[in-house]
Amino acid sequence: MRVTEIFDLDDPQFHKYFTSFTDSAWRLETLDSYSVAYEDEAYEAFLKGDLSLIHDRPTTWIDEVIVPAVEAGRDIGRVHIIERHTDEDGKLTLGDYLRFEFEWYKRNKAAGEDIRIAWVEPGEWVSRVRKKGHDFWLFDEDTDHAQVMEMHYDPDGSFTKAVVTRNTRQVKAARKCKRAAMRAAKRFYP
């Protein structure tokens, strides 16, 4: 079975997976923060209170992935599993990166991406879902050309590589994981 490894998120081969899927693209996110170069400028601005780099400029993800997929009737979505932390008054608290990511989610959702959050208590996890740090994309899951892109990150959330395969066992495991994550998740409402 052929396996493709990609080591750079700017690699045109990586981008091609997101513009060439025929039916669906779905993501499992499990980390509390990601450290990827293409977000650095917007994240720094966000930390200073400036949301314009998130909400006011064109983005490849929205313009070349979400909008064309939705207009063509293809599904694109994700579930992010997040530990629920609260302050002494029981109010939900989010770290800086998750607050930043939620700002992006607002825009992605408005463009048509199905974004869901599965809240878990600290130290717990969603049954039948891959453990924290085992992110993936599942492409065209209900077709004969379904494939999984496993996303690998360092402990600090830095991308190290993506591994893409059509291995039927791995595709089947990703489908089961997706179903469990979807059952545990609620739609993202900003």
pLDDT tens per residue across span 83-134: 998 899 988 899 999 999 999 999 999 999 999 999 999 989 988 898 888 9
Tell me, what CATH number does 180's domain have?
3.30.870
pLDDT at 136: 98
Is the pLDDT confidence value at 7 over 70?
Answer: yes
Q: How many domains does the chain have?
A: 1
User: For residues 8 and 76, what is the distance between their CA atoms, to the nearest angstrom?
Assistant: 22
pLDDT tens per residue across span 17-61: 999 999 999 999 999 999 998 899 999 999 999 999 999 888 899
pLDDT at 1: 65
Is the pLDDT confidence value at 62 over 90?
Answer: yes
Tell me the average pLDDT across 136-151: 97
CA atoms within 13 A of residue 86's CA, in its CB half-sphere: 7
Residue 74 belongs to domain spanning:
3-187
Residue 67, Cβ neighbours under 10 Å: how many? 15
The proportion of the chain whose per-residue pLDDT surpasses 90, expressed as a percent, equals 82
Is the pLDDT confidence value at 190 over 80?
Answer: no
Contacts of residues 98-105 at CB distance under 8 Å and 24 or more positions apart, as own/partner, are 98/32, 98/33, 99/46, 100/39, 100/42, 100/43, 100/46, 100/47, 100/54, 101/34, 102/188, 102/190, 103/46, 103/51, 103/54, 103/55, 104/54, 105/188, 105/190
pLDDT at 90: 86
User: For residues 161 and 36, what is the distance between their CA atoms, to the nearest angstrom?
Assistant: 12
